[in-house]
Amino acid sequence: MKLCLSIAPNSMQEAISQLRKHRDPSDLIEVRIDGIHDLKLERLLRQPRPRLIITNRRKTEGGKFTGSADRQFEILSEAIDFGAEYIDVEQSWGNNFLKKIQSIAGRTKIILSYHNYKETPDNLFKIYNSMRKSGFSILKIATTANDILDNKKIFSLLNRSKSDGIKLIGICMDEFGQISRILGGVYGGYLTFASPNNDETTASGQISYDDMDSVFNVGSRNRKTKIFGLIGNPVKYSQGIYYHNDKFRRKKCNAVYVNFLVNDLTKFLKIYRDAFSGFSITMPFKKDIVTHLDKIDNDIKELNIVNTVLNKRGKLSGYNTDFLGLNEILKKYIHIKNKKVIVIGTGAISKTMAYSAISNGADVTIIGRSLIKAKSLAKQLGCNSASLNELLNLRADLLMNGTSVGMKGANQNRLVPKKFFQNKPIVFDAVYNPVITPLLHEAQAAGCKIISGKELFETQAKFQSDLFMSILK
């Protein structure tokens, strides 16, 4: 699958400057010319330069062009005359316009586009079949994903186009649709777009060129690529895409790891279960995933929480590498047997923290903003419980936070009063973005030894990677 950088300069100077950074003739760049106020196509298309797609999107199509249809034709005709490798035209411009531009295309390849900025409609195959009849070189269908499941419609369409021998660019826009930009090549997609960086996108959900090229290696994705990923909500701050894709690249595996932003786990697995070789599970699905598994690792049956799943010949097996990572980290920092441990939170990672400490002989107290939830979890694990308001009355050798408080983009309220740090407990925060959370910052300032969530992430990721690699052998 080809990777195309998409740029939207405001002036010729900006356009030429951006093109000079990509002098390799093999590079492919889409130039959105509708925002260039001093457009000079002869200069823009002057060689040497990379291969270009010239796109002049109208204002009603999310662009900036406000001229007439005749002026639109003149501009695209000039692009053809000056040697543009591709031009992009919209199906909505009508048959007369399209036939007229097709008749003068010469060596220029025309991309016939359909955009839907509201949804991914159910009649995509009907739209596709209508576009096929036009005889254009390349078809592009870009829709809006309102749920992760919408990508399946695009993937099915890409499979069909591959069988038909049609070059199709199939993309779902917005965050739910990002996987379509990465995995299109697995299903036979012709091309995908990337942005210069995360702040200069020309369409919602675009991913930076560097990430698409260096992290996801989209140009090498094909039907033999094994798919791994993170299932959760939210997922955009996860670092797993960097860790696991780097490991795949170093081991020369034809595999990719992507983020799946999921609303409904049951519906997602019904559609995508067979597409995976393995996946990571994060909040809020570490408990919910268990009911979908065929097998669970014996060491965590009592814990009943899973963060890693392998698809072995169609059977899903669950593991908890957080538990393995926590055990390793606790042994590194503290002789935990008979030590007093406080765990803040009642979610999956908090339960795993408490279970690990109890398994290693610690005296554990679970603290919850909801005392009812704290008591319920403590009863399951056979340990103590208390409310957050009681924290100052307790002593701890080790304090562990399993909540999302302090995570980038999440609640930043203080969980632990500064006075609590006077007895110098070790403080461990599961949050790893940022590395030094407000909790760790205050604990460190008070002279406490700290353990970052980054260390937990990297430690559990090593165990997780070993499991993923076992599928690829």
Per-residue pLDDT for 26 more than 90?
Answer: no
In the residue annotation, 286 being an active-site residue is answered as yes
Among 165, 188, 222, give the residue marking a domain's end: 222
User: 208 and 347: one domain?
Assistant: no
256 falls within a domain? no
Region 415-427: what's the mean pLDDT?
95
Give domain status of residue 128, yes or no.
Answer: yes
* pLDDT computed for residue 299 by the predictor: 87
- Average pLDDT of 22-28? 80
Q: Within a domain: residue 463?
A: no
Q: Binning pLDDT at 50, 70 and 90, where does residue 414 land?
A: confident
- Residue 431: inside a domain: yes
In angstroms, the CA 249 to CA 420 distance is 45
429 — pLDDT class (breaks 50, 70, 90): very high
How many CB atoms sit inside 10 A of residue 203's CB? 20
Q: What's 39's domain CATH number? A: 3.20.20.70
Among 140, 153, 226, 286, the active-site one is: 286
For 297-347, strand residue ranges (E) read 308-312, 315-319, 340-344
Q: How confident is the model at residue 413 (pLDDT cuts 50, 70, 90)?
A: confident
Instruction: Give yes or no: residues 40 and 173 share one domain.
Output: yes
Q: Does one domain contain both 60 and 204?
A: yes
pLDDT band (50, 70, 90) for residue 24: confident
pLDDT in tens, 210-243: 999 999 999 999 999 999 999 999 998 889 999 9
Q: Does residue 410 have a pLDDT over 80? A: no
Count of CB atoms situated within 10 Å of the CB of 253: 18
Which of the listed residues 174, 189, 222 is the one where a domain comes to its end? 222
The average pLDDT across 81-98 equals: 96
218 and 344 co-located in one domain: no
Least confident segment among 17-31, 97-111, 273-287, 297-311: 17-31
For residue 453, being part of any structural domain is answered with yes
The encoded tokens of residue 38 equal 């001093």
Last residue of a domain, one of 202, 222, 242: 222
Q: Is 161 exposed, middle or buried (0-12, 13-18, 19+ CB in 10 A)?
A: buried
37-56 confidence digits (pLDDT tens) = 999 999 999 988 999 999 99
| pLDDT in the model for residue 22 | 80
pLDDT of residue 254: 97
* pLDDT score at 411: 67
Sign of CA dihedral 349, 183, 61, 80: positive
pLDDT surpasses 90 at 408: no
Answer yes or no: is pLDDT of 473 > 90. Answer: no
Which structural domain range is residue 393 located in?
Answer: 323-457
Q: Are 289 and 318 in contact (CB under 8 A)?
A: yes
Q: Mean pLDDT score of the chain, rounded to an integer?
A: 95
Tokens of 171: 């993309």
Question: Is residue 227 included in any domain, yes or no?
Answer: no
- Do 14 and 145 lie in one domain? The reply is yes
Q: Is the pLDDT of residue 23 over 90?
A: no
- Report pLDDT for 460: 96
pLDDT band at 448 (very low <50, low <70, confident <90, very high): very high
Q: CA torsion 396→402→403→405, rounded to 10°?
A: 70
pLDDT given at position 11: 97
Residue 236 counted as domain residue: no
SS3 1: coil
User: Are 457 and 432 a contacting pair, CB within 8 Å?
Assistant: yes
Task: Output the domain CATH number for residue 336.
Answer: 3.40.50.720
Each residue of 322-379: pLDDT tens digit? Answer: 999 999 999 999 999 999 999 999 999 999 999 999 999 999 999 998 999 999 999 9
β-pairing, 278-281 with 226-232? parallel
Q: Tell me if residue 278 falls in helix, strand or coil.
A: strand
- Domain total of the chain: 2
| Predicted local confidence at residue 270, as pLDDT | 95
Alpha helix (H) residue ranges in 23-123: 41-44, 69-81, 95-103
pLDDT in tens, 104-114: 999 999 999 99
335 belongs to a structural domain: yes
**Do residues 301 and 295 touch, judged by C-beta distance below 8 A?**
no
pLDDT digits (tens, 9 = 90+) for 252-303: 999 999 999 999 999 999 999 999 999 999 999 999 999 999 999 998 999 9
